[in-house]
Structure 1
């Protein structure tokens, strides 16, 4: 499916196709399995036929041995009519027997007795070191070049010095070879048909298995063409986690866009008031006292700059919050802020004390954001304190309420404090509870907003020193 007006999708090389890869791997595995199965089954069948053929030939050798007799001169005699198989009498029937004389010096006299089926030929089997009664198996060419399976054994007439005789029984192997060839051909054809069926099944499996990806592609196109805000549709359990993660990214993107729009609107609204004041002051004819106008301009510029700094800080935190690997040591930031506050409020001789934590503490965020939050809290405490400001920090381990450790920093002063009814109002942007104290009314609001972006919070409560206690809770980072 192509988007109207969009350029055609680029062709995908076959090596990058998931369908081709799955089919290629499946077909290669099935083909190898079919070949191995064919070789094993053909070998087993050949071995089975060979064993059956040899067992039948062993019975024939036992029959020949049982019918072997010796005359008065010690010569072997086998009555042809005593043998039950008519193939012994048919020339070149494929079933043969033969008796050879074994001389003491190792030489032999072949074909002393032989079956009529051998006609005018004899079996020329090499001399073999054979114990009495033992059976050896050989393959050799026989009459008319036919391959034969030969079983041989030696026997001895009664008496210690009686001569030894070798009995041989041979059968044509062409019958077994033809049976094996027929079985191998049928087996190969069957395995080929099976391979085709398995290939069709693999293609159907891949087509059915990858079909949900087409639904996923359509869902992505719906999002791209603004027909849906998130991926929708019934997808397999293996794909659903990917869809959930992608939808989470879309939600996060939507939140960032909405937050950017809200911050732009808030910034425009916040700058509108000081710009209006400056415009009205500049429009007065004749101009008022120059010192009064200069003070007004400076005041409004400070307000405008404070608003800009606030929104820039929110934008920076919104972009960097929850990024992995961020860690800021608490102690260096606090020590630097205390030095600044001692210089800024040197004329008031405030006693700013910091209770050292038992272990080093770390904030899971950027140092600039931690300085912004703690700086506002310390500055606010110093403005309202009569003589003392105290800061202490602790680490709350992860538990049932929080999934990760929490860094808790408390800043309190001995000032007049804030009534319970006014604490929520003090956290609103631009609200100043006492106009006699310099400020813009943004300090606590900035701290609350920045903490919320990190998943933390700011709580106001009465302090043990008698003034206000501001407790800042932020995500903590591991010390290692």
Structure 2
């Protein structure tokens, strides 16, 4: 689909870019928030550690004394995962001090070799308590008096709370970006479709030209498309001039050859019968062949025109009426469906092809000739509709070998009938030049059916 549709290609690329950009933005923002939250968490633990240090001292008995109040009830709730702990070191006697949340448990503390102190004499490490909470611990050692007596201070925060907060933020971020992305894609789709509408207008204008409703691209196009429309109009004008020039040259050539050949035929009358017959026959053959090649040149010039259009029904009905007047002993009928069929060819070429077929059918028919037109392939995108015209007679007909022989140039299977043997070959050439086809088949009436398939433009009910 992307190969055949510019709109689909642009929408696909815009969608891919939007998805990639939004995913990247989500990852970056989520990571930045995580880093900021972890820094803030570490700063909070360090501030609480300083508060604990400031409220603990050595009493007269050489024991730890003090009751830190950190302003947060989570330190007084068992199993909350928020803990402070002070342990005596050198020359300090007595029990340790700890928050209610720790109870009688101990923290799983790594050795100094595993996690050393940093430049500020602090060390951070993960731990867990007896309630299954994942903790983040900050630890330091401080001298409490001028006698060098010291204690180890620890403050632990519940890491699960931090992770839950980060996960909640990321979840809300992803939802917000997803909604924003969907909205952006819809807006982009509308903008792209609106921006590409002039191309649709150009396509419709070309369709009107192909349908014979217009002879150039009409309408106001954007600056980016206007040069293309101008070039197409110039090409159509050049094509029209080429066709007109070819028609004029063909007419001039036909007129210049017509008189010499007519002179030869007239002069043959004064010759001896044997020579006259030979010269007349050869001159008539020359005349027919010259006309054939002139017609082919004319058709080749007209085939390149995008404006060649002919309504089939009037041509068929007119030819049937003429042939009925010329052959009063035969019945002629026209069966046309659809009536509004339009063929992509010149009217005179259609008349020449059908005229040859109907005239040929009239020569061999016993009582009736029927001309039928049917749609055999409906129009699709990039393809033309195809119509088939059958000219059936109720004569003797031909076998398979005779049908193949009949379409050869100059071949006459019945010498008793007048003609040059070029009619069916001319029809075949006209069909080929217009990218159609010609074939002979057995008619339902028992005679011969000449089937001419030609490209069409449109049909209307």
Aligned to 2:48: 60
Distance 1:279 1:210, change over 3 A: same
Counterparts of 1:263-412 in structure 2 under 5 Å?
263-270=249-256
Aligned to 2:199: 213
Bigger mean CA offset, 276-285 vs 218-227: 276-285
Aligned to 1:29: 17
Aligned to 2:221: 235
- 1:175-209 C-alpha deviation (Å, 9 max, x unpaired): 32222222122111112211221222232223223
Aligned to 1:118: 102
Counterparts of 1:98-247 in structure 2 under 5 Å?
98-101=85-88, 112-128=96-112, 129-130=116-117, 134-158=121-145, 162=148, 164-247=150-233
Deviation at 1:268, TM superposition (A): 4.1
Deviation at 1:272, TM superposition (A): 6.3
Structure number with bigger Rg:
1
Deviation at 1:98, TM superposition (A): 0.9
Aligned to 2:59: 71
Deviation at 1:95, TM superposition (A): 2.5
Distance 1:131 1:176, change over 3 A: closer
Unmatched segments (≥5 aa) in structure 1: 1-12, 286-307, 320-480
Aligned to 1:346: none
RMSD over aligned Cα, in angstroms?
Answer: 3.9
Contact 1:98–1:122 (8 Å) recurs in 2: no
Contact 1:114–1:122 (8 Å) recurs in 2: no
Aligned to 2:30: 42
Matches of 2:107 and 2:94, distance apart in 1 = 8
Aligned to 1:154, what secondary structure does the other structure show?
strand
2:247 corresponds to which of 235, 251, 261: 261
Distance 1:283 1:66, change over 3 A: same
Distance 1:229 1:110, change over 3 A: farther
Aligned to 2:138, what secondary structure does the other structure show?
strand
Contact 1:147–1:173 (8 Å) recurs in 2: yes
Contact 1:101–1:165 (8 Å) recurs in 2: yes
Contact 2:14–2:188 (8 Å) recurs in 1: yes
Deviation at 1:135, TM superposition (A): 1.9
Deviation at 1:43, TM superposition (A): 1.6
Matches of 2:118 and 2:190, distance apart in 1 = 64
Contact 2:81–2:134 (8 Å) recurs in 1: no
Deviation at 1:114, TM superposition (A): 1.7
Matches of 2:222 and 2:119, distance apart in 1 = 75
Deviation at 1:48, TM superposition (A): 2.1
Matches of 1:237 and 1:144, distance apart in 2 = 72
Aligned to 1:463: none
Contact 1:63–1:83 (8 Å) recurs in 2: yes
Aligned to 2:131, what secondary structure does the other structure show?
helix
Q: TM-score, normalised by structure 1?
A: 0.49
Deviation at 1:60, TM superposition (A): 1.0
Deviation at 1:63, TM superposition (A): 0.9
Distance 1:221 1:71, change over 3 A: same
Contact 1:49–1:176 (8 Å) recurs in 2: yes
Contact 1:99–1:110 (8 Å) recurs in 2: no
Aligned to 1:91, what secondary structure does the other structure show?
coil
Deviation at 1:271, TM superposition (A): 5.1
Unmatched segments (≥5 aa) in structure 2: 272-289, 302-461
Deviation at 1:16, TM superposition (A): 2.9
Contact 1:133–1:153 (8 Å) recurs in 2: no
Aligned to 1:118, what secondary structure does the other structure show?
coil
Distance 1:278 1:204, change over 3 A: same
Matches of 1:238 and 1:196, distance apart in 2 = 29
